Amino acid sequence: MENRTFNETQSLELITRMIQETRTHMERHAGVPFLVWGYVTVIVTLAVWFALTRTQNPTWNLLWFALPALGMLLTQLTDDRKSKTVVTFIDRIIRHTWLVLGCSAVLVSLLTLFSPLQLPILFIILLLMSIGTILTGAMIRFRLCIASGILGILLSTLCLWVSPLDSCLVFAAAFVVMQIIPGHILNYQSRKQCHV
Amino acid sequence: MFKELNPLLHSELRLAVMSILIGVESADFVYIREQTKASAGNLSVQIDKLRTAGYIEVEKSFRGKIPCTVCRISPAGIDAFEEYVAALQSYIHKK
């Protein structure tokens, strides 16, 4: 591109093209945050389920706190914000959406563990995460994410009907559908787009 | 009566830089160079002109040991860009 002047039509075409290319720009490894939180959630949930099934000791519920700790640690380690060449408004909105939902999930967990309230915690957290998945899908225009988030909401209601132990399995399955599968597909698509 | 096109923006490369920055929170020099396919020297000069006019803010830092230049559009730049697009539309509609 040169530093030349041009006519009005060319000028509008250039503006449209630049805005369009930036809007459709996708970072490599776009699905990594989904994969990090998806795998960590599934592994921790299955570990809690396994420990509770084997020992019947509710103290193992404290293992849930490994989830935000591990998730945040791995998110920090895989965070590519420092190497990102462009930061869009959507990036910021997505980050803030998940921050609000994540803090709400931690608050609900603390309320359940340290207060007499008996909240259906897995239902509430799954509902919050499904909402986050749908919103993210809508923002990045990724229909699979929206669909998997809707499925997550349906699965969250199942947590209200099955036993607390079985709801762990529903919770893990929902995260496979909502985060792991879309995360891998998103990574595949971003790799493909970055190679073009 | 046609509105006068802002000469600072009515240049291919500078307009491309502004069009990229209008749609993002920030973009670094490497990204802008990839999108515009301009030479580093020319892009650097044009970015400096936009910065001097107050249309963009430029932040120079380091990523590890690699220098990094991050650009973002300023409120004055947004106003200038909007005025430029309005002027363009008046030209096209009257043709």
Helix axes B29-36, B40-52, angle to 10 degrees: 110
Q: Is the ipTM of this complex over 0.85?
A: no
pLDDT at A97: 94
B71-82, pLDDT tens digit by residue? 999 999 999 999
Other C-beta atoms lying within 10 Å of the C-beta of residue A137: 21
Contacts of A4 in chain B (CB under 8 A): 11-12
Answer whether B56's CB lies under 8 Å from B71's CB: yes
Among B10, B38, B85, the residue with its CB nearest the CB of A5 is B10
B48-71, pLDDT tens digit by residue? 999 999 999 999 988 777 888 999
Answer whether residue A28 shows pLDDT above 70: no
pLDDT at A58: 87
Contacts of A82 in chain B (CB under 8 A): 63
The nearest CA of chain B is from the CA of A18 a distance in Å of 6
Query: In angstroms, rounded to a whole number, what is the distance separating the alpha carbons of residues A105 and A196?
Result: 39
Answer whether B36's CB lies under 8 Å from B43's CB: yes
What's B57's DSSP letter? E
The residue type found at A178 is M
pLDDT at A99: 93
Among B12, B25, B45, the residue with its CB nearest the CB of A14 is B12
pLDDT at A61: 87
pLDDT at B1: 56
Whether residues A8 and B92 touch (CB distance < 8 A) is answered with: yes
The nearest CA of chain B is from the CA of A182 a distance in Å of 25
Answer whether A95's CB lies under 8 Å from A112's CB: no
Q: Which helix (H) or strand (E) segment is A183 a member of? A: helix A181-195
What's B56's DSSP letter? E
What's A142's DSSP letter? -
The band of A3, judged by pLDDT with boundaries at 50, 70 and 90, is low
Strand partners for B59: B70
Helices assigned H by DSSP within A24-116 = 32-55, 66-78, 89-114
Query: In angstroms, rounded to a whole number, what is the distance separating the alpha carbons of residues B75 and B95?
Result: 31
Whether residues B12 and A2 touch (CB distance < 8 A) is answered with: yes
B25-39, pLDDT tens digit by residue? 899 999 999 889 899
Whether residues B23 and A12 touch (CB distance < 8 A) is answered with: no
Residues 10-69 of B with CB under 8 A from A: 10-16, 19-20, 22-28, 30-31, 34-38, 42, 45-46, 63
The first and second tokens of residue B6, run together, are 């802002």
Answer whether residue A195 shows pLDDT above 60: no
Q: What is the DSSP string of B68-85?
A: EEEEEE-HHHHHHHHHHH
* A19 vs B36, higher pLDDT: B36
Answer whether residue A24 shows pLDDT above 80: no
Residue A8 forms contact with B (CB below 8 Å):
yes
Answer whether A42's CB lies under 8 Å from A180's CB: yes
Strand partners for B28: B70
The first and second tokens of residue B66, run together, are 């690699």
Contacts of B80 in chain A (CB under 8 A): none
Residue of A nearest to B19 (CA): A15
A101-160, pLDDT tens digit by residue? 999 998 998 888 888 888 899 999 999 999 999 999 998 888 999 999 999 999 999 999
In chain A the first and final C-alpha atoms are separated, in Å, by 20
pLDDT at B75: 95
This prediction has a pTM of: 0.79
What's B58's DSSP letter? E
Query: In angstroms, rounded to a whole number, what is the distance separating the alpha carbons of residues B69 and B26?
Result: 10
Q: Average per-residue pLDDT in chain A?
A: 87
Please give the average per-residue pLDDT across A21-47, as a whole number: 85
- Cα-only R_g, chain A: 20
A44-56, pLDDT tens digit by residue? 999 999 999 999 8
Contacts of B40 in chain A (CB under 8 A): none
The first and second tokens of residue A178, run together, are 């909502």
Whether residues B16 and A3 touch (CB distance < 8 A) is answered with: no
Residue A193 forms contact with B (CB below 8 Å):
no
**A144 Cβ neighbours under 8 A, 6+ residues apart:** A137, A181, A182, A185
The band of B94, judged by pLDDT with boundaries at 50, 70 and 90, is low
When scoring A86, A88, A196 by the number of chain B Cβ atoms within 10 A, the one with the most, hence best to mutate, is A86
Answer whether A19's CB lies under 8 Å from A45's CB: no
Answer whether residue A79 shows pLDDT above 80: no
Residue A20 forms contact with B (CB below 8 Å):
no
